[in-house]
Structure formats: C-alpha cells, structure tokens
C-alpha cells in the first residue's frame, strides 16, 4: 500500500494508474477505522482497479463546542487495517495540503438549504457546508471514477449526490448499507465513548426504528404519531431523542400522499454521546 500526504506525491502516485487506463475509487474517512469503514473499502474493491482511502479530520465540519480536538485518532491501527483490507493508496493529508491558504481564507461551498438545514443540519448548523467543502476538495485532488459512502450518514449521502450532480463531477457515488453489531447497533467511531450500561441502552435505537418502520408500513399510518411514539419509547429506554423523523427517501421532505420510498432517521443522546441511525420504510 502506498502512503502519501501531499499534493505532488498524490499526483505522482495516481499518474501511472491513469496512464494504464485503470479506474480509481475513493473512500473518504476521518480515521479511527472500524468494520463499517472496511466494508466501504471492500465494496470499493469490487468497483474499480485501484482503491484510494483518505484519512483527514476536517475542521470545517465541526461547530464550536463539538469534539474536534477529542475526535479519536488511531493512525497506526488505521494504516494496518487498510493495508490488510486491500487498499492501494492511503492519502493522509496535512491541513496545509487540504487548505493551503488556511481554513479561514479557504474557498468554501454551501450545501443547499432544503437538504442541509433539516435534521442533522438543524442540530449542527454549517456542518454540511464543511462536508461538501472538504469532499469537493478531495474529489478534485484524487479525481476518482467513483466514490463510496455509507448509508449510516444518510443525509450526507444525499447531499454528496446532489453536489456531484449539481457541479458536474464525473464521479459515480455508491452507497453501502450500514454495518451493525449483532445487537443491531450501527458501528460508529463514537461507540467507544459508551460505557457498558450506555452501550446496552444504545442498542435499543435500532429496535425502535424497526418497530416504527413496521407500523409505518401499515395502511393509513399516522407518521406524526409514530414519530412521537418512537421518541417516547426511546426516552423510556434510556435515550434522549434529538429527532425521530419519517421523510421522503430522495429529498428528506415530508411524505406526500402516494410516496412509497421513505426513510426513518433519528439522532439520540446516550449519556454525553450523540448517535445517529436510519432505516428504510417502504
């Protein structure tokens, strides 16, 4: 596995693959890799000749008071995990590589408000502006044929797809289903903050979403009532919901009569740890 952290090294590493006509797929991450990230790498290996993974903790998507400084960083184990998963190139840029003129003087993108101001965007203003800013920069630096994102961050996935379409990036975006523990808890870098009791409580999130999806599939289901009931159930199970929302899968707008493809999305606090999850409702 090749490893580079600057722009000239990245260009040099990619040039031979491009000249040989090999296709490249990008797996953007912020490190602290777990089985969910490695599932993205495995999916990427099926899509192209070469897999490029990035590790960069992007400051522009963290709001004041969020856990930028405390975000877990495990570069040595990440490197080994990628090497054993079949990654061809690890691009772990410095801040100067991603933002050569500094974060404050950097050109930035803004995500469309219709998608970015609801749910996660309401809870974390400006978060998705930071996401599209850094992902667009990684797209320009790596110039991949495809990129892979997980469905756990479903709103992010929709926003990235919209950005690619709106800005004309010639990149195919592939979604990988959420990887879960045997209990159903979605894998997340933040799970390691949970103590044993909190970990047990967090497992209830997926179960409540499943129950809500089953009820929502019934004829004449009242989605607003289901959201309220799910929130109350989560509280009884030791979780503090930030939101539970049933939305249209394609644009996160409120469901309309005749809509068939929906998504249930939730964010909860378990102790001091914030967790998100979502599942399909058809």
| Count of other CB atoms within 10 angstroms of residue 171 | 19
Question: Across-strand partners of 273?
Answer: 270
Give yes or no for a contact between 24 and 145, defined as CB atoms under 8 angstroms apart.
yes
**Sign of the dihedral defined by the CA atoms of residues 3, 77, 85, 42, in that order:** negative
Tokens found for residue 198 = 């909190």
Strands 2-4 and 50-55: unpaired
Catalytic residue among 37, 84, 101, 127: 37
Q: Respond yes or no: is residue 269 known to be catalytic.
A: no
CA distance linking residue 30 with residue 189, whole number of Å: 9
Backbone angles phi, psi at 243, to 5 degrees: -160, 150
**Residues forming the active site:** 37
């Amino acid at each position: 596995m090749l490893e580079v952290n600057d722009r000239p090294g990245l260009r040099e590493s990619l040039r031979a693959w491009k000249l040989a006509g090999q296709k490249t797929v990008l797996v953007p991450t912020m490190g602290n890799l777990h089985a969910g990230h490695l599932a993205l790498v495995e999916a990427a290996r099926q899509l192209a000749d070469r897999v490029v993974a990035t590790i960069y903790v992007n400051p522009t998507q963290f709001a004041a008071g969020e856990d930028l400084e405390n975000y877990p960083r495990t570069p040595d184990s990440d490197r080994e995990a990628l090497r054993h998963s079949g990654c061809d190139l690890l691009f772990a840029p410095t801040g100067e590589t991603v933002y050569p003129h500094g974060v404050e003087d950097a050109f930035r993108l803004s995500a469309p408000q219709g998608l970015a101001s609801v749910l996660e965007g309401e809870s974390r203003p400006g978060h998705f502006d930071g996401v599209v800013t850094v992902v667009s920069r990684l797209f320009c630096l790596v110039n991949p044929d495809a990129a892979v994102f997980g469905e756990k961050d479903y709103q992010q996935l929709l926003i990235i797809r919209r950005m690619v379409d709106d800005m004309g990036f010639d990149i195919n975006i592939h979604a990988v289903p959420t990887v879960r523990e045997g209990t159903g808890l979605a894998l997340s870098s933040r799970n390691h903050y949970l103590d044993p009791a909190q970990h047990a409580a967090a497992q209830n999130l997926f179960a409540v979403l499943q129950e809500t999806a089953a009820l929502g599939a019934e004829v004449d289901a009242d989605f607003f009532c289901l959201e309220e009931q799910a929130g109350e159930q989560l509280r009884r199970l030791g979780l503090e919901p930030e939101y539970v929302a049933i939305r249209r899968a394609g644009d996160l707008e409120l469901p309309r009569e005749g809509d068939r493809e929906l998504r249930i999305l939730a964010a909860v606090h378990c102790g001091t740890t914030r967790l998100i999850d979502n599942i399909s409702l058809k």
